[in-house]
Amino acid sequence: MTSFPKLRDAREERLALARERFFRDEMPEDDELSPLILRSWERCRDSGLDHRISQAIDPAGRSRLSESRERSARLLELGSGVMEHVFDQIRASGSMVLLADTDGMIIHSLGDAGFVDRAERVSLQPGACWSEDVRGTNGIGTAIAERLPIEVLGAEHYLDKNIFLACNAAPIFDARGKLAGVFDISGDYRNPQRHTLGLVRLSVQLLEKRLFEGEFSNDILLAFHSRPEYIGSLQEGMIAVSPDGAVLGLNPVARDWFAGMGLSLEAADLSDIFRPSLGVILDRCKAAPNSMVRLDLRKGGEIYVQARSQRPLALANPQVVVEQGGSLPHPVRQGSHTAAREPNLDSLCTGDERMQRALQRARRIAGKDIPLLVQGESGVGKEIFAQAFHNSGPRADGPFIALNCAAIPENLIESELFGYAGGAFTGARKEGAIGKVQQAHGGTLFLDEIGDMPLPMQTRLLRVLQERCVTPVGSMKTIPVDISLVCATHRVLREAVASGEFREDLYYRVNGLTVTLPALRERTDVACLVERILKAETASLRDTPITIGADVMHFFEQYAWPGNIRQLQSVIRVAVALLDDDENVIEAVHLPEELFGADPHRDDAEPIRPLQVHKETNVPPLMDTSPAPNAAPRSLDEIELEAIAAVMREVGGNVSAAARRLGISRNTLYRKLGKIG
Ligand SMILES: Nc1ncnc2c1ncn2[C@@H]1O[C@H](COP(=O)(O)OP(=O)(O)OP(=O)(O)O)[C@@H](O)[C@H]1O
């Protein structure tokens, strides 16, 4: 014989004693009853509830139930999917899965027929209210009162008629941390299921995750965890950030995590927690979509972050965000609809004539039903241009949905674009998925690298553009869509049409207006762009502004930038990272080595070198150590000391900068400086 029934007997005996004492107005012994249940019994007694009550308590009328279902529509929609899944796992165990609203009214139930009959006798059914004040201590009501997951077993129930029940319940909190409802699994107490409370907790975590993702579906979600393998799991923390950089909400894991770090959520600022600014985090995530980036925590240690968004991963106004750092958490969206959103067609105007012409032409068609085709080399800013076009038109409040046709496998493009019905193919999500075209309804669909779209997909896209309707894969339903279309390509589409790789009829559909963005090497506003990028990259890092040395700026204006603005941005980011705390000027020593190599866009034999370095020594002119003509030969020590003195003058006495430039450590430099005296 196992000891389990014995244990139960002992437990039941203790509970029976506790009940006797409690209802005789005595205090139960400590080991007879958990403090949580005792608290609940006391609440019931204080509210005048009689534990012997036997008459049925009628469920609410139909209209109360449908009112509540309407109020909790989102919870019901997401919850019923989770309930079905859970019920599949526990089917035939004599249990029911229940969903209740914030007042404790059951709004949905699934159950095994045998148990349902008994449950109905105590009104464990939709429309019945299971708040503590009506039905005494029970899973749903006590979980609401305590705001905690709870197990109420047998005689722990306050009403005598409910002591055959075993209830496991957990409160569900919405994306703003407010109670949204209760998830409960109830069964017969004499038929115990060991892991039920764990299953309830998991179900609630899943529901809360879906509620959070749904609430912030138009925003940027930063998922994080200290261990990379937990990203994507129910244990990941999530921070929702608006496109204009305000922190909108935290999921329960993130709330606990911030509280554990001793941070007051109202006062905290993302830049108090993560080392780079929010703008930099997003750029890093954007550079490697779907991957994780490792960030340093200001308090020490590191964390892994993955940014997810239906929109392109960029802040609408990087400067504002970087300066504010994003404070935690604003319960309501801030400012996203007041000021003109950035980037916009005005903010991209930094003085280059060709760029200005492209911006002007785009401005003319903003708000008209004319598709825009943006051409240009990789990294010239085609996507930012598309976003600016969207932000400058009447659809700015609608979604901006981007799809890179070259970055996803051919067999996934179709479902990504058009969505799919539940169970449409192996591996498809049960509930199906909405495609990018439908997501862009009321806003703009941006198809990057359209020139790389496979031909069969071009045919389907053409049909969508002609009929303005989309049919998800595996579905018979057509859904009308209202989208503005912007496409981009680094290829000359006309040539792709000529070679038969791109459908001519689609070509005419996507290029209502074509603008070609200049390569960075052709632009006359490099200095202005550099200043902007530098400001966005560094605004939150220092009190003293960081500037660019004149030589470096001159080099930036000369260099051919094969990777265009993206490469410039990355060079500036690296240079900023290499600055010492006491340095505020970016000099040649802070530039990545690859810039010193041959320039791929110039075929003259002489490679471009920054700061006109000496070809043989790689030493800039101020460090020139060659003897003057006819001078007497000097010792190596003398040459070295002169070189050090020259560099020290050049860097205004900054030892760190001089050491770097000379390629020696600071300690070695101090030693050598001792010799100069
Ligand atoms: N005017 C600008 N000011 C500041 N940053 C810019 C500007 N234009 C582009 N960038 C930055 O340069 C990077 C590349 O821009 P974007 O992704 O728009 O280029 P793209 O032409 O679409 O590149 P690809 O063809 O490779 O997709 C981005 O990080 C973007 O934020």
Domain limits for position 677 = 613-677
Q: CATH number of the domain that 427 lies in?
A: 3.40.50.300
CA of 73 to the centre of ligand 1 (A): 41
Q: What percent of the chain has pLDDT over 70?
A: 78
Please work out whether the CB of residue 378 comes within 6 Å of at least one atom of ligand 1. Answer: yes
Asked whether 600 and 540 are in contact (CB, 8 A), the reply is no
**Same domain (yes/no): 476, 374:** yes
CA of 611 to the centre of ligand 1 (A): 27
Instruction: Please compute the mean of the pLDDT values over residues 593-601 and round it to a whole number.
Output: 57
Q: Which residue has the tokens 């007041």?
A: 338
* DSSP characters over 89-142: HHTTSSEEEEEE-TTSBEEEEEE-HHHHHHHHHTT-STT-B--HHHH-S-HHHH
Count of beta carbons in the 10 Å neighbourhood of residue 393: 20
Q: Are residues 372 and 486 in the same domain?
A: yes
400 & 300 share domain? no
pLDDT in tens, 22-55: 999 999 887 889 999 999 999 999 999 999 987 6
Is residue 676 situated within a structural domain?
A: yes
ipTM over 0.90: yes
Length of the chain: 677
Angle between helices 655-662 and 666-676 (to 10 degrees): 100
Cα dihedral 628/630/631/632 (nearest 10): 140
The last residue of one of the domains, among 500, 518, 536, is: 518
| Same domain assignment for residues 239 and 370 | no
- Cα 610 to ligand 1 centroid, rounded to whole Å: 24
Interval between CA 321 and ligand 1 midpoint (Å): 18
Nearest one of 491, 387, 480, 408 to 441, comparing CA atoms = 480
Protein residue closest via CA to atom 24 of ligand 1? 378
Give the range among 145-154, 192-201, 625-634, 649-658 with minimum mean pLDDT.
625-634
| pLDDT beyond 50 at 401 | yes
Which residue, by CA, sits nearest to atom 10 of ligand 1?
381
Q: Give residue-wise pLDDT tens across range 635-652.
A: 556 667 777 777 777 776
Asked, for residue 339, whether it belongs to a domain, the answer is no
- The answer to whether residues 609 and 560 touch, using CB atoms and an 8 Å cutoff, is no
- On whether residue 48 sits in a domain, the answer given is no
- At a CB cut-off of 8 Å and minimum separation 6, what does 410 contact? 454, 457
Same domain, 241 and 133: no
- Residue 607, in any domain of the structure: no
Given a cut of 90, whether residue 624 has pLDDT beyond it is no
Q: Is the CB of 383 under 6 A from ligand 1?
A: yes
Give Cβ neighbours of residue 345 (< 8 Å, ≥ 6 apart). 359, 362, 363, 366, 388, 389, 392
Would the CB of 348 count as within 6 Å of ligand 1? yes
Q: Say if residue 613's pLDDT is above 50.
A: no
654, 644 contact by CB (below 8 A): no
Better-scored residue on pLDDT, 615 or 410: 410
Considering the domain architecture, whether residues 235 and 290 belong to the same structural domain is answered as yes
Chain-centroid distance, C-alpha 128: 39
Specify whether the CB–CB gap between 226 and 301 falls below 8 A: yes
User: In this structure, are 290 and 426 located in the same domain?
Assistant: no
Q: What share of the chain is helix, strand, coil (3-state, %, to 5)?
A: 45, 15, 40
Do the beta carbons of residue 425 and residue 468 sit within 8 Å? no
579 alpha carbon – ligand 1 mean position (Å): 24
432 and 510 fall within a common domain: yes
Q: Is 439 within the bounds of a domain?
A: yes
Statement: residue 484 has pLDDT above 80: yes
Higher pLDDT, 119 or 419: 419
With a CB cutoff of 8 Å and minimum separation 6, the contacts of 137 are 37, 40, 41, 44, 152, 156, 157, 158
- Number of separate domains in the chain: 4
Look at residue 90 and tell me whether its pLDDT is greater than 60. yes
Least confident range from 79-88, 384-393, 420-429, 527-536: namely 420-429
486 CA → ligand 1 middle, Å: 15
- Give the tens place of pLDDT for each residue, 123-181: 888 999 999 999 999 999 999 999 999 999 999 999 998 998 999 999 999 887 889 99
pLDDT: which is higher, 315 or 433: 433
Q: Please give the DSSP secondary-structure letter assigned to residue 339.
A: S
CATH of the domain at 625: 1.10.10.60
Report the Cα 296 to chain-centroid distance in Å. 18
Higher pLDDT, residue 478 or 321: 478
Residue from 375, 384, 391 to probe ligand 1 pocket by mutation (most atoms less than 8 Å from CB): 384
Q: Are residues 189 and 225 located together in one domain of the fold? A: no
Give the Cα separation of 94 and 164 in Å (integer).
Answer: 13
Within a domain: 314: yes
pLDDT in tens, 508-566: 889 889 999 999 999 999 999 999 999 888 866 677 789 999 989 999 998 888 889 99
Q: Are residues 94 and 181 in the same domain?
A: yes
Tell which wins on pLDDT, 112 or 546.
546
Average confidence score pLDDT of the chain:
79
Per-residue HEC secondary structure of 231-264 comes to CCCCCCEEEEECCCCCEEEECHHHHHHHHHCCCC
Q: 315 lies in a domain?
A: yes
Ligand 1: which atom is nearest the Cα of residue 404? 27
Residues 368 and 433 in one domain: yes
The CATH number of whichever domain residue 96 belongs to comes to 3.30.450.40
Residue with token string 């997909």 = 457
* Boundary (domain end) residue, out of 159, 187, 206: 206
The reply to whether 163 and 243 lie within a common domain is no
Say how many Å lie between the CA of residue 664 and the centre of ligand 1.
Answer: 37
Domain membership of residue 18 (yes or no) is no
Residue 627 has pLDDT above 70, yes or no: no
At 321, the pLDDT band (50, 70, 90 cuts) reads very low
Specify the higher pLDDT residue, 474 or 180: 180
Domain final residue pick, 286, 309, 324: 324
CA-nearest residue, atom 15 of ligand 1: 381
Q: Which two tokens stand for residue 320?
A: 């504002």
Q: How far apart are CA 307 and CA 313, in angstroms?
A: 8
